[in-house]
A and B are shown apart, each in its own frame.
Chain A
Amino acid sequence: MEQSRPLWDNPLQFVFACISYAVGLGNVWRFPYLCQMYGGGGFLVPYFIMLIVEGMPLLYLELAVGQRMRQGSIGAWRTISPYLSGVGIASVVVSFFLSMYYNVINAWAFWYLFHSFQDPLPWANCPMNRNYTGYMEECEKASSTQYFWYRETLNISPSIEEHGSIQWEQAVCLILAWLVVYLCILRGTESTGKVVYVTASLPYLVLLIYLIRGLTLHGAVNGLVYMFTPKLEQLANPKAWINAATQIFFSLGLGFGSLIAFASYNEPNNNCERHAMIVSLINSATSIFASIVTFSIYGFKATFNYEDCVSKVILLLTNTFDLEEGFLTADNLEAMKNYLTSTYPNEYTELLPQIKNCSLEAELDTAVQGTGLAFIVYSEAIKNMEVSQLYSVLYFFMLLLLGIGSMLGNTTAILTPLTDSKFISTHLPKEAISGIVCFVNCIVGLIFTMEAGNYWFDIFNDYAATLSLLLIVLVETISVCYVYGLRRFEKDLHVMTGHKPSWYWKIMWAFASPVLIVSLFVFYLTDYILTGTLKYQAWDATQGQLVTKDYPSYALAVIGLLVAASTMCIPLAALIIFIMKRLRRESISTVA
């Protein structure tokens, strides 16, 4: 008796699973940065064009392939053509790399979440040094939030060569994060389907709370105005278009095999066209929503720091010249500075190096992305709000939900091909396979909890997935259009959704998207080649800031291995299948 494939309980679970996977940390910490760098409101133009040209067609393609083939990535591509099983294998390898390092972010989110239950928040103040005479030197040079991130969370070493030991606190949080992921994927779609109701919808609730809180903060308007004023001249900058394309591409999570895996658990007549459009639109809308929240928080933080700076200057001047309290205010500061320069020229020139030029623009200009934004900038803003513990808990809980939602997709991409394979699923039950995958990932992930772990994290984050994904999706698109045949695919879609795909989809699949991906690929390669040696940012504890260093040779070797391990699967698998078929044909011919 054939065992039927487990299915989603209803199409809503499938849509929620895709949303939960696609809406991840990148929407919160990468899109606002890009928006700021490439022209504010004007960046939305290339973003939406790329969404329509690249995002929706490729998403529809992957979902349709998964739903039609009803197998994980390896099986699906093997069904299209045995030579293409390498594409599936490459997807699984990339997903494996991603799940290794991505869960470390969840571990950090757990760490911050657990530390949010204190009053005052531990990153609000600098800790004292050993003999209680003053504050820690590193904390004085940097800020208390930076100190908490680099020293108390990561305990980062000065360079990637110095490994240090495994931080037990981080290791324990990582184990917890993997236990949570295991709990969610334990039963396959049965458990994942219930969990995604929570991971897809709760982040929006938290974002809404933050939106209301953010917009009512003092100075939020400054941030919003700064971000949304379109600088249309950036549209002429090719980097804006390239980054828009890259952001859409990676934000939707194409090429990892997760979307194929999710779609394979669908009913065969599910309307994946509509779902593809819904998911991509919701993903982009969430990015914009999150950037409104981020920029109101930026504005608040920048205004707070600016006013703090101004009041420090006022205090300094008042103390030096023994002026009356309230004589100097923020409004008359400039006029009074001139007055003081003229009346007490000598003392003023002595004081000049200590007087900082406070500028709101400069505060707003500090554009940050990635873990720096999430764990340093945001926590700095949160510590200045009232009831900061509540907002801190909400915020890190939201980060956790987003991160775990994406992890569910990644692990499903690894597990579905494994459970599809008859050999493995007959010998081991589902729970054991998931357990082994989580365990292996957890052990490897302990590397990222060492003192130099954050540098390795950056290596994986920057290089493990970028080039390989572009290649994988390119091969996917070309093979569906030209190897499987666009006409056959059209007929399959007609059977599944009830109507033929319009000419728009066909043109995008056959021409526009492959051309776009090839150009992105070329751009990335030339960028790598032109920059010469790769560099990274290391934290210098003595100066209290980041410095740029070169990667040592073994780190470069690891980078090369990462990229090669996934990309080489495609040609290697094709070669091996070719050789095996040749041998089989020869043995048949000798027998005959």
Chain B
Amino acid sequence: FTGLKYLFRAMVAFAMRRYSSKETTQISNVLLCNVTDRVSFWFVVADSSKNVTTIPRKNVEAAIRMNRNRINSAFLLNDDTLQFLKISSTLSPPIEPSLPIWLIVFGSVLCLILGGIVFLIVSGIRQRQKKNQASAEAENLEDKHETIVTTENGIPCDTLDFKAGHINGVYAAADDERFTPL
């Protein structure tokens, strides 16, 4: 723990030197008092030029604020775990990307879906054109082949063919209102 106390005093001295750009602050000027088990303490920075005075609080505060990040990193801690009471930590500004990321994902999915829709519609139209052509050709062949679907009382035969001819679906469907009752 004494090693860490020394490191802390060194960091505060460094901060004071950077802040005031004077090379006067020594490690011996930083005094720790009221050290508790909780690893909390009070500290003051004495002024070496004038005896028995301390550097005003505002200056010390400003110095620590300026170098907060370095002090935190020296102890491998962060703003939550190394607290300076009454020095509120400024929150880092949020990183605003130029284009919100969600728009990028949204754009890609949208393009995919639109592409799929266009593809399906176009292939559907082309299929229908081909079928129209095929049926136009088939009409020319109708005199030669009978391509009419056989129907029985208005129902196409293939739907009535249950169980390969064992059951005649016409009789089962006979209860329908479409047919005259037997």
Contacts and interface: CB of A to CB of B under 8 A. Distances in A.
B101 A325 contact: no
B90 interface: yes
Interface string B27-39: 0000000001111
B156 A2 contact: yes
Contact of B106 (A4, A127, A176, A183): A176
A386 interface: no
B156 A4 contact: yes
Interface string A180-193: 10110011000100
B120 A183 contact: yes
Interface in A284-321: 318-319
A431 to B, nearest CB: 6
Contacts of B102: 111, 114-115, 117-118
A572 interface: no
A327 B40 CA distance: 15
B87 interface: no
Contacts of A173: 106
Contact of A186 (B103, B120, B147, B162): B120
Interface string B74-93: 00000000000000001101
B8 to A, nearest CB: 16
Interface in B93-116: 93-94, 101-103, 105-106, 109-110, 113-114, 116
A491 interface: yes
Contacts of B52: none
B101 A1 contact: no
A355 interface: no
B124 A495 contact: no
Interface size range on B against A: 35 or more
B172 A491 contact: yes
A495 B102 CA distance: 55
B182 interface: no
A117 B102 CA distance: 7
Contacts of B124: 186-187, 429-431
Contacts of A182: 117
A186 B120 CA distance: 8
B110 A179 contact: yes
B175 interface: yes
A186 B117 contact: yes
A325 B94 contact: no
A134 interface: yes
B94 A128 contact: yes
Given A186-B117, A498-B163, A118 B101 contact: yes
A322 B35 CA distance: 10
A128 B92 CA distance: 9
A498 B156 CA distance: 21
A38 B113 CA distance: 43
A319 B38 contact: yes
B121 interface: yes
A430 B93 CA distance: 53
B159 interface: yes
B54 interface: no
A179 B114 contact: yes
B4 interface: no
Nearest to A172: B106
B55 interface: no
A79 B149 CA distance: 24
A4 B162 CA distance: 17
Contact of A324 (B38, B90, B151): B38
B93 A132 contact: yes
A180 B38 contact: no
Contact of B163 (A180, A269, A429): A269
25 contacts: A114-B102, A114-B105, A114-B106, A115-B101, A118-B101, A118-B102, A127-B94, A132-B91, A172-B106, A173-B106, A176-B109, A179-B113, A180-B113, A187-B120, A187-B124, A322-B37, A322-B40, A323-B37, A323-B38, A429-B124, A431-B120, A491-B172, A492-B172, A495-B167, A495-B172
Interface of B: 36-40, 90-91, 93-94, 101-103, 105-106, 109-110, 113-114, 116-117, 120-121, 124, 128, 147-149, 151, 156, 158-159, 162-163, 167, 169, 172, 175-176
- Give the 4 A-B residue pairs with the shortest CB-CB distance, closest first: A114-B102, A324-B37, A322-B38, A322-B36
Given A2-B156, A268-B159, A492-B172, 20 more contacts: A2-B151, A114-B102, A114-B103, A114-B105, A114-B109, A115-B102, A134-B91, A172-B106, A176-B109, A182-B117, A186-B124, A187-B120, A268-B162, A269-B162, A318-B38, A319-B40, A323-B38, A324-B37, A429-B124, A431-B124
